[in-house]
């Protein structure tokens, strides 16, 4: 079996599996997940070469962290063989990017995860806070946690791409190690691509999430609450219908599309049904891509259908002054 490709994450020295395990479903975000199913899925992920697990205290109101912690403990892999990323600043009760809350937050997360340290600690969805507070208060607090050995590296996450340049232009070079962007590197939206040279110049690693654009690029279609415009939704629906007609799986093609850019260290996939076959399916898509390359013909046909809505996004966060 072809091993999953490992990619360097910026200047961190970490090597991430190109497919990352998005652990929000462990928080029952998409439906109840039994502990046995969760452990089986994480075990399967390890077996298939996934070494990167991403969670947050926000997912399932802290449940995702707790369950991931139980899974890692049950499986008993050596700590240096996997990479765990969690977040701070966003909670089920709201946002709080203060130094005090962030400092308390990591201790709570480590206890739930049953770990002595995380590999990456990220400020979660910073567009919902004051970016100046993130620059002047949150990042310095995170740097102290890094010095204390509670996290090895620090990052920032969010939807609008301009939040990344705003923060990175204002913090000391090298203080932010990684960014996590979502919904900006998939067949319908590749806006992240324009930012990659800038991020590389800053030595910042890049993780991309939601290769299926939060359900837009699936046969089933997005959930009711999906924030995209009706135009985006109907274009994606047309693309999915076209793929189905051609007996192609739009979700697999979309994941392969996201994986094909090597400047993105890992593509996080929310294993939204924790059944093992979902983990297997995602890894199989990566393996097939490594051997055969992407299905250029079908992808360019999908791109043509999506062209009218290319790089269209939706608002997220508060208006920054």
Quick check: 23 and 53 in contact, CB under 8 A? Answer: yes
**What token pair was written down for 6?**
């490992």
Interior CA angle at 186 toward 316 and 284, to 5°?
130
Cα–Cα distances in Å, from 35 out to 32, 76, 83, 85?
10, 15, 21, 21
Beta carbons within 10 angstroms of residue 60's beta carbon: 22
Q: Choosing from 59, 91, 166, 257, which is the catalytic residue?
A: 59
Taking the CA atoms of residue 290, residue 296, residue 302 and residue 308 in that order, the dihedral angle to the nearest 10 degrees is: 110
Q: Is 91 a catalytic residue?
A: no
Tokens 């912690």 locate to 69
Quick check: 232 and 221 in contact, CB under 8 A? Answer: no
In sequence order, what E strands does the chain have? Answer: 6-8, 15-17, 19-22, 52-54, 83-88, 90-91, 94-95, 118-123, 151-158, 178-182, 205-209, 266-270
Q: What residues act catalytically? A: 59
């Amino acid at each position: 079996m072809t091993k999953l490709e490992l990619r360097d994450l910026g200047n961190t020295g970490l090597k991430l599996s190109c497919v990352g395990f998005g652990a929000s479903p462990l928080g029952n975000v998409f439906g109840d997940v039994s502990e046995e199913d969760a452990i089986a899925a994480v075990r399967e992920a390890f077996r298939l070469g996934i070494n990167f697990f991403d969670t947050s205290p926000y997912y399932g109101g802290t449940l995702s962290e707790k369950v991931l912690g139980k899974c890692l403990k049950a499986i008993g892999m050596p700590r240096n063989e996997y990479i765990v990323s969690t977040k701070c600043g966003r909670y089920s009760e709201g946002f709080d990017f203060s130094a005090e809350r962030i400092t308390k937050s990591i201790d709570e997360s480590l206890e739930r995860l049953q770990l002595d340290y995380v590999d990456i600690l990220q400020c979660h969805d910073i567009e919902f806070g004051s970016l100046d507070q993130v620059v002047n208060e949150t990042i310095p607090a995170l740097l102290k946690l890094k010095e204390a050995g509670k996290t090895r590296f620090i990052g920032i996450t969010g939807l609008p791409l301009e939040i990344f340049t705003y923060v990175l232009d204002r913090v000391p070079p090298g203080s932010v190690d990684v960014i996590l962007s979502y919904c900006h590197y998939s067949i319908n939206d590749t806006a992240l691509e324009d930012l990659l040279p800038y991020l590389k110049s800053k030595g910042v690693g890049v993780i991309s999430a939601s290769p299926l654009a939060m359900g837009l690029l699936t046969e089933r279609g997005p959930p009711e609450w999906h924030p995209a415009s009706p135009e985006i939704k109907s274009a994606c629906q047309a693309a999915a219908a076209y793929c189905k007609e051609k007996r192609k799986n739009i979700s697999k093609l979309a994941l392969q599309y996201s994986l094909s850019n090597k400047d993105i260290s890992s593509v996080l996939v929310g294993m939204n049904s924790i059944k093992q076959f979902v983990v297997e399916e995602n890894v199989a898509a990566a393996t097939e891509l490594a051997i055969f390359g992407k299905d250029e013909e079908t992808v360019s046909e999908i791109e043509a259908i999506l062209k009218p809505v290319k790089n269209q996004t939706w608002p997220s966060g508060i208006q920054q002054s």
